[in-house]
Amino acid sequence: MGKSKQIDRRWLFLLIFFGVALPLIFTIGLPLETTKNVQMVYDLVDSMPKGSKALISFDYDPASMPELHPMAKALVKHCFDKDINLIFTAMWPMGVQMVDDIINQLKDDYPDLNYGEDYVNLGFKAGAMITIQSMGKNFREVFPKDMNGNSIDELPIMDGINNFSNIGFVFSLSAGAPGIKEWVQIAHDAYGRPTSGGCTGVSAPAMLPYINEQKQLTGLLAGLKAAAEYELLINTPGTATSGMDAQSIAHLIILIFIAIGNINYWRDKKAGKKGGK
Partner 1 sequence: MKKYLIFLFILYTCFLFSQEILLNIKDKPNDDGSALLISWDTSQIISSKIIIERETSDGKFITITSSEEPIGTFEDGSKIITGIRYEYCLTAYDSNGEIIQITRTTGESSAQWFNKDKISLLIFALLITISIVYYIFSARSGKHLYIRKIAGLESMDESVGRATEMGRPILFIPGTLDLDDMQTIAGLTILRKLAQKAAEYDAKLIVPVCRSMVLSTAKEVVKEAFMKAGHPDAYDPNSVFYLTDDQFGYVAGVDGIIVREKPAANFFLGAFYAESLILAETGFASGAIQTAGTAMPSQLPFFVVACDYTLIGEELFAASAYLSKDPHQLGSLKGQDFGKAIFIIVLVIGIILEISGVHFLKDFLTLH
Partner 2 sequence: MKRKIPLLITFTVGIILIISEFIPHKPFGQLSGELEIWFLIISGFAILLGQLSLFKVNILKIKYKQRDWQFYTITLISFIIMVTLGFLWGTGKSAGMLGQGEVISNILGYKPFDYLFHNIYQHLQATMFSLLAFFIASAAYRAFIGRTVESNLLLVSAVLVMLGNTTLGSLLTGWLPESLNFLHLPKISEFIMTFPTTAGQRAIMIGAGLGIIGSSLRIILGIERSYLGGE
Q: Which residues here bind partner 2, judged by CB under 8 A? A: 1-2, 4, 6-7, 9, 12-13, 16-17, 20, 30-33, 35-37, 61-66, 96-97, 100, 126-127, 130, 133-134, 147-149, 201-202, 204-206, 208-209, 211, 223, 225, 228, 244-245, 247-248, 250-255, 257-258, 261-262, 265
Residue 7 engages partner 1 in binding (rule: CB under 8 A): no
Pick 113 or 128: Cβ nearer partner 2: 128
CB 25 to partner 1: min, Å: 26
137 binds partner 1 (CB under 8 A): yes
Q: Are 196 and 217 in contact (CB under 8 A)?
A: yes
The region of 26-34, 60-68, 101-109, 226-234 touching partner 1 under the rule CB under 8 A is 60-68
Q: In the complex, what is the shortest distance from the CB of residue 135 to partner 1, in angstroms, rounded to a whole number?
A: 10
Phi-psi region of 52 (alpha: psi -120 to 50; beta: other; left: phi over 0): beta
C-alpha distance from residue 179 to each of 19, 74, 102, 113 (Å) = 31, 19, 19, 28
Per rule CB under 8 A, is residue 254 in the interface with partner 1? no
Burial track 80-102 (b if 16+ CB lie within 10 A, e otherwise):
bebebbbbbbbbbebbbbbbebb
Residue 45 contacts which entry, partner 2, partner 1, none (Cβ below 5-8 A, type-dependent): none
Cβ at position 35, least distance to partner 1 in Å: 18
- In sequence order, which residues have a C-beta less than 8 Å from that of residue 2 and are 6 or more positions away? 265, 268
- With H, G, I as helix, E, B as strand and everything else as coil, classify residue 88: strand
Name the residue nearer to partner 1 (CB basis): 109 or 154: 154
d(CA 245, CA 65): 18
Q: What is the C-alpha to C-alpha distance for residues 139 and 191, in angstroms, rounded to an integer? A: 13
Give the one residue of 203, 218, 242, 247 binding partner 1; rule: CB under 8 A: 203
Q: Which stretch binds partner 1 (CB under 8 A): 59-67, 108-116, 236-244, 246-254?
A: 59-67
Quick one: what does residue 6 bind among partner 1, partner 2, none, with the CB cut-off 5 to 8 Å set by partner type?
A: partner 2
Task: Indicate whether 214 belongs to the interface with partner 1 (CB under 8 A).
Answer: yes
**Which letter, b or e, does each residue of 216-255 get, where b requires 16 or more Cβ atoms within 10 Å of its Cβ?**
bbbbbbbbbbbbbbbbbbbeebbbbbbbbbbbbbbeebee
192 binds, among partner 2, partner 1, none (CB under 5 to 8 A by kind): partner 1
